[in-house]
């Protein structure tokens, strides 16, 4: 069986790794650098992450880390529990991590504090009235509109760059959504959830990019690399597919694992399915700019915090600040700290901010909102089309991907448009995609 893999980000490399384990020699098609968005930079004694900053400890990614011999390189937060803050009513406020903090928190009005313990037991409180609703609509019966906007909105901006009025509750809170559809109370949902509490976060000694690097070292002589863009995927009358590449090469395959997304996926599949191509083409993305700054160790940041997230409408589209070295001290030299500032988001469009302006503005914003007296700009990385907006109705796009997979045996879609925007989810979806492929070729 010949298998093509489109894209060599973490999803494509994981797929290649799993296929090689099955005895397949895949053709990996990638026009850019191996590893996609996973990009670690060593600069002036700092470990900087230009893409993902932390990973969530989930079974598929931990299994992969083990297989790659990287488990010993995992670093967990040195502060436990660490806090997360949001900017609300003109100050930084801690997101409560339990009932005691919630009682003291000014993020929650007294009416919610009093009613919440009872609401947790009400069956059907969150039962959705439509096939999908916004995160705002979904959570309002439980915590009210104000708390959803003040607390949940900045948190989701930090992950998706989008806002609670548009993001899909069904796609983002799929477990809770399924329980709500059954009419369960929140307590009923929590009781049925697998035990184990909140998953930990981690980074990798020497940078997260060590994961794609390790994958690539194990794959180099076991895959065929085509350093070009896959432009058209054409189904052949006699079965199988031709992948037309930007360097003129045509790669004939029996199956293809598609890991790219957005406009690039839309044009790739135009000849395969016009309806899916149009839907993918209409998918909106948030762009993000990641700015790294060094500050002295003597600067006081928020206590034991991983960072702070901001609501909509902040100057320069400020989304959040991560205090990486506060919970992962090894990423900065002993006398310094590193801050990662995120700007952009869905409302900002795809404008690449001017670097000279960022150099000037970001230290001023850090002074204004966090009291940081001096911050040294190190670098900025812009990601256009960084995170897909899983808007209300996103499940219909997933259903379309499933339909096209069923109609075109041998094609699996594991790109970020499917959902699951974190690296751990990307690894899981990719491994599941390769399993689907195997199931179909044996079925
Ligand atoms: C700034 C930022 C911060 C983030 N923070 C976190 C975080 O803290 N934690 C977390 O878990 N996740 C985070 N993420 C998300 C995470 O980085 C992504 O979900 C993940 O890296 C996506 O992996 P992928 O392989 O699906 O896609 P990509 O990494 O985008 O890889 C896709 C690859 O396909 C290639 N490609 C595209 N089109 C074609 C084509 N036509 N032909 C051939 N190849 C093609 C591209 O060149 C690319 O290499 C962050 C993302 C960004 C941008």
Before 81, cis peptide (omega within 30)? yes
Would the pLDDT of 106 be above 70?
yes
* pLDDT band at residue 141 under the 50/70/90 scheme: very high
Which helix (H) or strand (E) segment is 327 a member of?
Answer: helix 324-327
Cβ–ligand 1 distance for 29 under 6 Å, the answer yes
How many Cα atoms occupy the beta-carbon half-sphere of 318 within 13 Å? 24
> To the nearest whole percent, how much of the chain has pLDDT over 90?
88
Q: Ligand 1 pocket check: which of 6, 37, 261 to mutate, most ligand atoms within 8 Å of Cβ?
A: 37
How confident is the model at residue 104, as a pLDDT?
A: 93
Average model confidence (pLDDT) across the chain = 94
Confidence (pLDDT) at 125: 94
pLDDT in the model for residue 349? 76
Q: Do residues 268 and 230 lie in contact, with contact meaning Cβ atoms separated by under 8 Å?
A: yes
Question: Looking at the domain 108-192, which fold is it?
Answer: protoporphyrinogen ix oxidase, domain 3 (1.10.3110)
Residue whose C-alpha is closest to residue 392's, from 177, 179, 169: 169
Q: What is the mean pLDDT of residues 115-127?
A: 93
Contact, 381 vs 374, CB < 8 A? no
Question: What is the fold of 39-56+67-96+200-207+284-388?
Answer: Polyamine Oxidase; Chain A, domain 2 (3.90.660)
DSSP-derived 3-state class of residue 282: helix
Pair 268, 260: CB distance under 8 Å: yes
Distance CA 159, CA 307 (A): 13
- Would you call 355 exposed, middle or buried from its count of C-beta atoms within 10 A (0-12, 13-18, 19+)? middle
Statement: residue 333 has pLDDT above 90:
yes
Q: Which ligand 1 atom lies nearest to the CA of residue 268? A: 41
pLDDT at 321: 97
pTM greater than 0.85: yes
Place of tokens 């991907």: 401
Using the 8-state DSSP alphabet, how is residue 400 labeled?
H
342, pLDDT greater than 70: yes
- Identify the H or E element spanning 399: helix 394-407
pLDDT given at position 196: 67
Confidence of residue 262 (pLDDT cuts 50, 70, 90): very high
**What average pLDDT does the segment 319-347 reach?**
95
SS3 content of the chain, % helix, strand, coil (to 5): 40, 25, 35
Q: Note the CATH number of domain 3-37+209-283+391-442.
A: 3.50.50.60
**Tell me, what's the pLDDT at 51?**
97
Q: What is the pLDDT of residues 158-212, one digit of tens each?
A: 888 888 999 999 999 999 999 999 999 999 988 888 776 678 999 999 999 999 9
User: For position 443, what pLDDT does the model report?
Assistant: 57
pLDDT for 355-384, tens place per residue?
999 999 999 999 999 999 999 999 999 999
Where do the domains of the chain lie? 3-37+209-283+391-442, 39-56+67-96+200-207+284-388, 108-192
Q: Is the CB of 31 under 6 A from ligand 1?
A: yes
Residue 267 contacts residue 243 (beta carbons within 8 Å) = no
**What integer pLDDT is reported at residue 162 of this predicted model?**
86
- Closest ligand 1 atom to residue 32 Cα is 47
Q: 422 in ligand 1 pocket by Cβ < 6 Å?
A: yes
């Amino acid at each position: 069986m010949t298998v093509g893999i489109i894209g060599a980000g973490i999803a494509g490399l994981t797929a290649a790794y799993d296929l090689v384990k099955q005895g397949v020699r895949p053709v990996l098609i990638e026009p850019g650098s191996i590893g996609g968005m996973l990009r670690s930079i060593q600069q002036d004694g700092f470990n900087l992450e230009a893409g993902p900053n932390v990973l969530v400890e989930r079974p598929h990614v931990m299994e992969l880390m083990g297989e790659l011999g990287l488990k010993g390189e995992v670093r967990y937060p040195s502060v436990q529990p660490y806090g997360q803050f949001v900017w609300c009513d003109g100050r930084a406020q801690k997101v409560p991590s339990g009932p005691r903090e919630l009682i003291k928190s000014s993020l929650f009005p007294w009416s919610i504090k009093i009613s919440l313990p009872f609401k947790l037991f009400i069956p059907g409180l969150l039962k959705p009235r439509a096939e999908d609703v916004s995160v705002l609509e979904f959570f309002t019966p439980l915590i009210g509109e104000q708390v959803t906007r003040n607390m949940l909105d900045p948190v989701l901006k930090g992950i998706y760059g989008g806002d609670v009025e548009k993001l899909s509750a069904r796609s983002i809170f799929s477990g809770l959504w399924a329980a709500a559809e059954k009419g369960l109370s929140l307590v009923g949902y929590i009781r049925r959830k697998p035990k184990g509490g909140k998953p930990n976060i981690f980074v990798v000694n020497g940078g997260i990019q060590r994961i794609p690097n390790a994958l690539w070292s194990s794959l180099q002589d076991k895959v065929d690399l085509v350093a070009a863009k896959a432009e058209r995927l054409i189904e052949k009358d006699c079965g199988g597919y031709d992948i037309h590449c930007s360097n003129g090469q045509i790669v004939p395959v029996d199956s293809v694992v598609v890991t790219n997304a957005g406009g690039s996926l839309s044009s790739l599949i135009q000849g395969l399915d016009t309806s899916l191509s149009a839907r993918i083409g209409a998918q909106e993305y948030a762009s993000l700019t990641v700015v790294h700054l060094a500050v002295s160790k003597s600067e006081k940041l928020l206590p034991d915090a991983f960072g702070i997230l901001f609501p909509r409408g902040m100057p320069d589209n400020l989304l959040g600040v991560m205090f990486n070295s506060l919970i992962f001290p090894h990423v900065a030299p002993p006398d310094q700290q590193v801050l990662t500032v995120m700007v952009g988001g869905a409302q900002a469009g795809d404008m690449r901010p001017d670097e000279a302006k960022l150099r000037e503005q970001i230290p001023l914003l850090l002074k204004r909102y966090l009291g940081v007296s001096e911050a040294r700009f190190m670098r900025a990385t812009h990601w256009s089309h960084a995170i897909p907006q899983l808007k209300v109705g996103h499940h219909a796009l997933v259903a379309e991907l499933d339909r096209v997979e069923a109609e075109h045996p041998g094609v699996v879609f594991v790109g970020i448009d499917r959902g699951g925007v974190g690296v751990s989810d990307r690894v899981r979806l990719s491994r599941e995609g390769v399993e689907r492929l195997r199931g179909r070729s044996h079925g």
